[in-house]
Amino acid sequence: MSIRETVNNPHSHWMDGTGPESDIVISSRVRVARNLAHLPFPHLLSREKAEDVIHAVQTAIENRVFREKMGKMELTRMNELTPVERQILVEKHLISPDLLEDFERKAVVLRDDEVLSVMVNEEDHLRLQCLLPGLQLNRAWELVSRLDDGLEATLDYAFDEKLGYLTACPTNVGTGLRASVMLHLPGLVMVNQIKGVLGTITKLGLTVRGLYGEGTEAKGNLFQVSNQVTLGQAEEDIIANLISVTRQLLGQERAAREALYRERREQLEDRVGRAYGLLKHARVMTSDEAMSLFSDLRLGIDMGIIKNIPAPLIIELMVLTRPAFLVKVTGKDLSPVERDIYRAQLIRKKLSAAQQS
Amino acid sequence: MECERCHQRPATVHLTEIINNEKRTMRLCEQCARELQAQAMGFFPQINLHNFLAGLLHNEFGFPTTGPTVAPAGARCEACGLTEAQFARQGLLGCGECYRYFGPRLEPVFRRIHGNTCHTGKVPERTGGKVRVINRLERLKAQLREAISREEFERAAELRDAIRELEKELQEG
């Protein structure tokens, strides 16, 4: 898939809903920060030197050995894309919003299936990322590590014997690794347990943040849990810790769902039914309202209350109804009100198509 | 007039930002203005982190956390020219060499963020050199101690051989 196809297609492999525990773990992500030796970090990099970094990466991915090992990966400079296309890559979680800042000197490398990507000249020269559906952190690390080895075969990394991989921000030094899972936790939110549970997590060297939300507010009951420490623990240990905490969370979320079903079944079914009704028939829908209704509907699907809608469609809709995708779909700039109208229209269309199929 | 950001579309919006009492006005197209605003609306969790970290560094390096920042004093990275004051303000280092120049002063920062000052993870395959072997050796030695304490002597013998092999490799360079 070329980058054009990537931005035209709202679907990514991570939204498949195919991985283990995918009723609650939406996706697993591993990223590592790497820098090239003997060059200032991106925020101090001159325009020409930034270009040198992009060149070096281009050469590294065109190397025959790299290609044999990793397959074809395509480098695209951020300035070759339109603002909407750039924003879409963010909405698909393939790049960070930071890559849009000062984008003239930045680039992205994507593998066809969008599972692997490399951001060039973000906060660090290289940020290698793997994004997979469900709970697959070990696999994600394996793939990132292989990509890392492939690049290191031709690129000289800034590495220190004592401190490990050197990064622009001291919070990333050492492994440079940030592993995270995106979790859908409506049960824990509904039984009012989420604050306590997430509070505990932060005591275990992990951080939690709401997805798409500011601060701790989580839209669509989606939470991202990630490691905080990158120095002094081996990559495998960091990942094992995150997996074990995620498993605990899964247990608690499932227990909460069962309790809700047992004790407040009518209210739960009512809530799911109302969400479905609104999504199917509303004519104007803000992004916040949609996110919260998607969460209720998805819970209904996962619990077998709603049977004719495939679960992955909900994640796809969460991405598809973000502002940049709406602009892409409609092919024109939209005012906020128009956006809410198109959003409602698109949701109705997708849901009725799913029902008929 | 063209948009200052994308240099493609005409500028139709004047976006004024006030950061640290400095006013900056940009002439932008609607699309870019919207993107910038979306970012300002909280898509940037890392900025908060950097501000937070900068506060921490201010304390660590003895710069006042409130009031105007005094002219930079102290160390400067000879490779990229980053000063301690700049680092404390932004929370970002300038290059790999900064870790060497600011070394001892960074240790408390690492300890506070990571609870640790020593990397024990992956080492680059090609350029990692001896560190790779040394790390592997340490892991094997730890495994050997464990095997002995569990009285798994066969395993211990295997590990001992592997350790000898690696030590030989190290000596031969």
Q: What pTM, to 2 d.p., does this model score?
A: 0.80
What tokens does B102 get?
């600011």
My answer on whether B97 and B59 are in the same domain is yes
From A208's Cα to the closest Cα of chain B, the distance in A is: 12
Q: Considering only alpha carbons, which residue of chain A is nearest residue B93?
A: A168
- Mean pLDDT over all residues of chain A? 91
Q: Is residue B119 part of a domain?
A: no
Q: What mean pLDDT comes out for the span A166-175?
A: 95
> Contact B117/A232, CB-based, under 8 Å?
yes
My answer on whether B39 and B11 are in the same domain is yes
Is A31 labeled as ligand-binding?
Answer: yes
> Contact B95/A40, CB-based, under 8 Å?
yes
Q: Determine the pLDDT at residue A86.
A: 92
Q: Determine the pLDDT at residue B18.
A: 65
Q: From CA A84, how far away is CA A3, in angstroms rounded?
A: 13
What tokens does A257 get?
């769902």
My answer on whether B40 and B67 are in the same domain is no
In the structure, what pLDDT confidence band is assigned to residue B43 with cuts at 50, 70 and 90? very low
My answer on whether B77 and B55 are in the same domain is yes
Q: Determine the pLDDT at residue A211.
A: 63
- Flag whether residue A353 sits within 8 Å of chain B, measured between CB atoms: no
Nearest to B121 among A152, A175, A228 (CB): A175
My answer on whether B68 and B104 are in the same domain is yes
CA atoms within 13 A on the CB side of A158: 26
My answer on whether B55 and B109 are in the same domain is yes
Q: Is residue B97 part of a domain?
A: yes
Residue A79 CB partners (closer than 8 Å, separation 6+): A103, A104
Q: Determine the pLDDT at residue B59.
A: 60
> Contact A153/B126, CB-based, under 8 Å?
yes
Nearest to B121 among A168, A235, A323 (CB): A235
- Residue with the bigger pLDDT between A119 and B90: it is A119
Does the pLDDT value for residue B70 go beyond 50?
no
My answer on whether B88 and B39 are in the same domain is no
In the structure, what pLDDT confidence band is assigned to residue A10 with cuts at 50, 70 and 90? confident
Q: What mean pLDDT comes out for the span B117-128?
A: 86
Q: Determine the pLDDT at residue A216.
A: 47
In single-letter form, the type of residue at position A333 comes to D
Phi, psi of B82 (to 5 degrees): -65, 135
My answer on whether B38 and B58 are in the same domain is no
Q: Determine the pLDDT at residue B47.
A: 40
Q: Is residue B163 part of a domain?
A: yes
Q: Determine the pLDDT at residue A322.
A: 85
My answer on whether B29 and B65 are in the same domain is no
- Residue with the bigger pLDDT between A125 and A219: it is A125
> Contact A40/B114, CB-based, under 8 Å?
no
Q: Is residue B120 part of a domain?
A: no
Percent above pLDDT 90 for chain B: 17
Nearest to A162 among B92, B93, B119 (CB): B119
Residue A212 CB partners (closer than 8 Å, separation 6+): A219, A220, A222, A291
- What's the number of domains chain B is made of? 3
Is A343 labeled as ligand-binding?
Answer: no
Q: Is residue B122 part of a domain?
A: no
CA atoms within 13 A on the CB side of A7: 21
Q: Is residue B8 part of a domain?
A: yes
Nearest to A83 among B35, B41, B106 (CB): B35
CB A291 within 8 A of CB A219: yes
My answer on whether B138 and B99 are in the same domain is no
CB A326 within 8 A of CB A6: no
CA atoms within 13 A on the CB side of A18: 7
Among B114, B143, B159, give the residue marking a domain's end: B114
> Contact B31/A98, CB-based, under 8 Å?
no
My answer on whether B40 and B56 are in the same domain is no
Does the pLDDT value for residue A196 go beyond 50?
yes
List, as one string, the DSSP characters of A228-242: ---SSS-HHHHHHHH
> Contact B119/A164, CB-based, under 8 Å?
yes
For A217-249, the pLDDT digits (tens) are 567 899 999 999 999 999 999 999 999 999 999
Q: From CA A295, how far away is CA A314, in angstroms rounded?
A: 8
CB A17 within 8 A of CB A317: no
CB B93 within 8 A of CB B102: yes
Does the pLDDT value for residue A34 go beyond 60?
yes
Range of the domain at B161: 128-172
- Flag whether residue A6 sits within 8 Å of chain B, measured between CB atoms: no
My answer on whether B76 and B133 are in the same domain is no
Q: Which residues of B touch A175 (CB under 8 A)?
A: 119, 121-122
> Contact A229/B113, CB-based, under 8 Å?
yes
CB A313 within 8 A of CB A244: no
Q: Determine the pLDDT at residue A112.
A: 86
Question: What ipTM is given for this predicted complex?
Answer: 0.83
Range of lowest pLDDT (A105-109, A206-210, A300-304, B113-117): A206-210
What tokens does A58 get?
């281009």
Q: From CA A227, how far away is CA A238, in angstroms rounded?
A: 7
Q: Which residues of B touch A44 (CB under 8 A)?
A: 80, 82, 94-95
> Contact A158/B123, CB-based, under 8 Å?
no
Nearest to B96 among A100, A166, A174 (CB): A166
Q: Determine the pLDDT at residue B61.
A: 62
Percent above pLDDT 90 for chain A: 71
Q: Please calculate the CA angle B14-B19-B24 and round it to the nearest 5 degrees.
A: 30
Q: Is residue B77 part of a domain?
A: yes
Q: Is residue B34 part of a domain?
A: yes
In the structure, what pLDDT confidence band is assigned to residue A35 with cuts at 50, 70 and 90? very high
Q: Determine the pLDDT at residue B45.
A: 34
